[in-house]
């Protein structure tokens, strides 16, 4: 079998992925997706606890290393 290299993308693409129900992450380890029209964050890798994202900090928006989970 062949290992696929992770595709890395910018925040705008990550947002598009979240809108279609995908889960994205960046090297921070937090996972993000959309639930009921809102972006939510799973702050711990193996946790089902999440919170609604109400603001984005520039360092998150400017990242160019978002990936699919």
Span 17-29, pLDDT tens digits: 999 999 999 998 9
Whole-number pLDDT of residue 62: 94
**Entry pTM:** 0.87
Token pair recorded at residue 53: 């994202």
| 8-state DSSP, 9 | B
Rounded CA-CA distance 35/22 in Å is 10
Instruction: Evaluate if residue 1 carries a pLDDT over 80.
Output: no
Residue scoring higher pLDDT (2 or 60): 60
Predicted confidence (pLDDT) at residue 5 exceeds the cutoff of 80: no
């Amino acid at each position: 079998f062949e290992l696929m290299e992770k595709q890395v993308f910018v925040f705008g693409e990550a947002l598009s992925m979240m809108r279609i129900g995908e889960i994205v992450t960046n090297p921070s380890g937090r996972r993000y997706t959309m639930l009921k029209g809102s972006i939510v964050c799973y702050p711990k890798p193996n946790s089902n606890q999440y919170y609604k994202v109400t603001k984005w900090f520039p360092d998150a928006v400017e990242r160019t290393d978002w990936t699919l989970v």
